[in-house]
Amino acid sequence: MVQFLEKLGDQCLHLLEQLGRMGIFLFACLWCVVKPPYKIFPIIRQIHFIGSRSIFVIFFTGAFTGMVLGLQGYYTLRKFGSEGLLGSAVALSLIRELGPVVAALMVIGRAGSAICAEIGIMRNSEQIDALECMAIDPYKYLMAPKFVAGVLSMPLLTALFDVVGILGGWLIGVVLLGINEGTYFQAMYASVEWQDIKMGLVKSLVFGLLLIWIAAAKGYFLHFERGGGFGAEGVSRTTTDAVVLSSVAVLLWDYLISAIML
């Protein structure tokens, strides 16, 4: 019993320590984002990596999500005789929920894991120590461009996801299942409000920050990992942790933001 309590306390302390470390990390990174000098080229490079190179996967997942929504929505709505509302159903669920969440999950899989592994390997092979000894701030040099790029890219990717998804729903609903095209888009115009778009925007901004934060911090603090973040295995384990943790965090925050903003 005592042993159990001891273990529990130890775990809690570890968790608290980790949270505190990550909190300080976030503030240091954000401070470095606003602190001059500003360099544009590293940011563009990161946007290319996090943003542009995710377009393909976002395009596909967006299209299929929209198509599935169209299909499922059609048969569900038909039971109530209201197929005409399909446009509204597809658009609202994409803009409010699925767009930001699925896009974030895809970016976590693509860029989050890569960032965590990259930083983790740099930590492992003393490259971060070397940066510090050269009086180059790793927060400014490594982290700040990633944060800016993440926060800029996520809303754009989400918007792309939404648009492609709506077109996917159109393809199924209108072209395949024969809903009137005017009805599809009219329902959409009538029901989507600025409020909904704002919610999607807030979510995508928060998710962008969240996923870069968790991936970068996990990699940066690789050497503090439980059981030691050593070598290739340590990096791979930490990267997996980062992906799981940021996916869960995205879903958690999705709920919180919905609850606050609805």
* Contact between 99 and 162 (Cβ < 8 Å): yes
In the chain, count of helices (H) and strands (E)?
A: 12, 0
Place of tokens 């790029």: 149
How many whole angstroms separate alpha carbon 183 and alpha carbon 86?
9
In terms of Cβ atoms closer than 10 Å to its own Cβ (0-12, 13-18, 19+), residue 10 is: exposed
Size of the site for other proteins (CB under 8 A): 15
Regarding 133 and contact with other proteins (CB under 8 A), the answer is: yes
Regarding 259 and contact with other proteins (CB under 8 A), the answer is: no
How many whole angstroms separate alpha carbon 217 and alpha carbon 199?
27
| Residue selected from 129, 181, 193, 233 as contacting other proteins according to rule CB under 8 A | 129
Which segment (73-81, 124-132, 190-198, 244-252) binds other proteins by CB under 8 A?
A: 124-132
* Contact between 149 and 49 (Cβ < 8 Å): yes
Which segment (97-105, 117-125, 166-174, 249-257) binds other proteins by CB under 8 A?
A: 117-125
* Contact between 46 and 146 (Cβ < 8 Å): yes
Regarding 135 and contact with other proteins (CB under 8 A), the answer is: yes
How many whole angstroms separate alpha carbon 131 and alpha carbon 229?
20
| Residue selected from 127, 183, 186, 191 as contacting other proteins according to rule CB under 8 A | 127
The least CB distance from residue 121 to other proteins, in Å, is 8
The least CB distance from residue 49 to other proteins, in Å, is 12
| Residue selected from 34, 134, 259, 260 as contacting other proteins according to rule CB under 8 A | 134
125 vs 180 by CB, closer to other proteins: 125
Regarding 232 and contact with other proteins (CB under 8 A), the answer is: no
* Contact between 66 and 164 (Cβ < 8 Å): yes
Regarding 48 and contact with other proteins (CB under 8 A), the answer is: no
Residues that bind other proteins (CB under 8 A): 118, 121-122, 125-127, 129-130, 132-137, 141
